Amino acid sequence: MRSLPVRLLALILAPLLVLTACGGDDDDSGGSSSSDDIEVTGDFGKAPEVDIPDKYSVDESDTRVISEGDGAEVKAGDDVLVQLAAYNGTTGADIFSMFSGQTAQPQTMKVDDKASLIPGLADRIEGQTVGSRLLVSITPEDGFGEQGNSQAGIGPDDTVVALVDLLPTEEAPKATGTIDDVKVTGSYGSKPTIDFKTPLFVDKTQSKVISKGDGDTVKAGDTVKVDYLGVNGRTGKEFDTSWKKGKSTPVDFPLTEGQLIPGFIQGLVGQKLGSRVAIAIPRDDAYGAGGNAQAGIEGTDTLVFVVDLQKPPEQPKATGTINDVKVTGKAGAKPKVTFKKPFYVAKTESKVLSQGSGTPLKAGDTVKVNYVGINGRSGKEFDGNYGGDPAEFTLTADKLIPGFIKGLIGQKPGSRVLITIPRDDGYGPNGNTQAGIEGTDTLVFVLDIAKK
Q: What is the pLDDT of residues 353-404, one digit of tens each?
A: 999 998 999 999 999 999 999 999 999 999 999 999 999 999 998 889 999 9
Q: What is the pLDDT of residues 325-365, one digit of tens each?
A: 999 999 999 999 999 999 999 999 999 999 999 899 999 99
Q: CA 252, CA 254: separation in Å to the nearest integer?
A: 7
HSE-up of residue 123 (Cα within 13 Å, Cβ side): 12
Task: Write down the domain spans for the chain.
Answer: 14-167, 179-309, 322-449
Task: Say yes or no: do domains 14-167 and 322-449 share a fold.
Answer: yes
Tell me: domain 179-309, CATH 3.40.1080.10, correct? no
Mean pLDDT of 258-262: 88
Q: CA 243, CA 3: separation in Å to the nearest integer?
A: 12
Provide the CATH number for the domain formed by 322-449 in this structure: 3.10.50.40
Are 14 and 86 in contact by the 8 Å Cβ rule? The answer is no
DSSP state of 437: B
Which range has the worst mean pLDDT, 29-38, 45-54, 286-295, 410-419? 29-38
The whole-number pLDDT of residue 102 equals: 60
The whole-number pLDDT of residue 113 equals: 67
Exposure string for 404-429, b = 16+ CB within 10 A, e = fewer: bbbbbeebbbbbbbbbbbbbebbbbb
Q: What is the pLDDT of residues 313-326, one digit of tens each?
A: 888 999 999 999 99
Which range has the worst mean pLDDT, 103-112, 120-129, 137-146, 426-435? 103-112
Are 423 and 440 in contact by the 8 Å Cβ rule? The answer is yes
Strands 94-97 and 62-67 come out as unpaired
The whole-number pLDDT of residue 143 equals: 86
pLDDT higher than threshold 80 for residue 435: yes
Q: CA 36, CA 38: separation in Å to the nearest integer?
A: 5
The string of DSSP letters for 25-80 reads ---SS-S---GGGSEEES-TTS--EEEPPTT---SS-EEEEEE---SPBP-TT-EE
pLDDT higher than threshold 60 for residue 21: no
C-alpha dihedral sign at 257, 259, 265, 271:
negative
The whole-number pLDDT of residue 16 equals: 26
Neighbours of 277 (CB within 10 A): 25
List the end-to-end C-alpha distance of the chain, in Å, as a whole number. 43
Mean pLDDT of 21-50: 73
The whole-number pLDDT of residue 314 equals: 86
Provide the CATH number for the domain formed by 14-167 in this structure: 3.10.50.40
Q: What is the pLDDT of residues 50-88, one digit of tens each?
A: 999 999 999 999 999 999 999 999 998 888 889 999 999
pLDDT higher than threshold 50 for residue 148: yes
The whole-number pLDDT of residue 25 equals: 39
Distances in Å between the Cα of 195 and the Cα atoms of 15, 128, 350 are 40, 43, 55
Are 37 and 62 in contact by the 8 Å Cβ rule? The answer is no
Higher pLDDT, 107 or 183: 183
Mean pLDDT of 157-163: 94
The whole-number pLDDT of residue 151 equals: 79
Q: What is the pLDDT of residues 334-345, one digit of tens each?
A: 999 999 999 999
Mean pLDDT of 274-288: 95
Bridge partners (DSSP) of residue 257 are 260
Distances in Å between the Cα of 159 and the Cα atoms of 57, 110, 141 are 5, 23, 9
pLDDT higher than threshold 50 for residue 18: no
Helix, strand, coil shares, percent, the chain, to 5: 15, 30, 55
The string of DSSP letters for 246-306 reads TEE--EEEE--BTTB-HHHHHHHTTPBTT-EEEEEE-GGGTTGGG-BGGGTB-TT--EEEE
pLDDT higher than threshold 70 for residue 227: yes
Burial grade of 54 (CB within 10 A; 0-12, 13-18, 19 or more): middle
pLDDT higher than threshold 60 for residue 15: no
Q: CA 447, CA 98: separation in Å to the nearest integer?
A: 46
